Chains A and B, each alone.
Chain A
Amino acid sequence: DSGVTQTPKHLITATGQRVTLRCSPRSGDLSVYWYQQSLDQGLQFLIQYYNGEERAKGNILERFSAQQFPDLHSELNLSSLELGDSALYFCASSVDSSMNTEAFFGQGTRLTVV
């Protein structure tokens, strides 16, 4: 157990819908990172939050948004879902603003858009 909790584990929804993925980082970790892993693909960086503030953006679509709350948990919102959004979404956390130390990954949320 990495200490990073993601819910739900599985999500099936229809095209055009909106979903929210949730991540609770390890106790004491201030940074949260979101990654997308499509089938047989690597990990694509989406966005990073540090202590409640957005710090970096990667290849995140405009239909996607995220936030980090005062208790440091984070939510990734995916809207106007398309079939191609089906993927495994991972959250990772680290203790500081840099990933220059070990980043711990959650178990992921598997999103299926039908």
Chain B
Amino acid sequence: GENVEQHPSTLSVQEGDSAVIKCTYSDSASNYFPWYKQELGKRPQLIIDIRSNVGEKKDQRIAVTLNKTAKHFSLHITETQPEDSAVYFCAALINDYKLSFGAGTTVTVRA
């Protein structure tokens, strides 16, 4: 299968708190997992990615963890700010050429 499940579909957090989005995938051969951020009316933009040879990657306030055995990966945003409000998509690379996307999580950061 090629499904990527993403939860939650919506997430509201207080400014300064952390946000966590979780994804699971079905293709055990997947080895590349990017996360995209899409602001309202704009294009998706890559914010961080992780490959199957590492378990965690961090970039300032954003981190991603990967558990290949359980086939799930998560995005962690710490010290959230209003500009973090957007839709976040996880994805898994299928058959080396196709990015299969999750349904997206709408994150709202309350001031």
Contact = CB atoms under 8 A, between A and B. Distances in A.
Contacts of B36: 105
Interface in B61-111: 89, 93, 95-104
Contacts of A42: 6, 89, 101-104
B89 A100 contact: no
Interface of B is mostly: strand
B99 A45 contact: yes
Q: Which of B34, B49, B98, B100 has the most CB of A within 10 A?
A: B98
Contact of B45 (A43, A44, A105): A105
| Residue among B42, B43, B46, B93 with most chain A CB within 10 A | B43
A69 to B, nearest CB: 20
A48 B46 contact: no
Contacts of B32: 99-100
A100 B93 contact: yes
B43 A45 contact: no
Interface of A: 2, 31, 33, 35, 41-45, 48, 55-56, 58, 90, 97-100, 102-108
Interface of B: 6, 31-32, 34, 36, 42-46, 49, 89, 93, 95-104
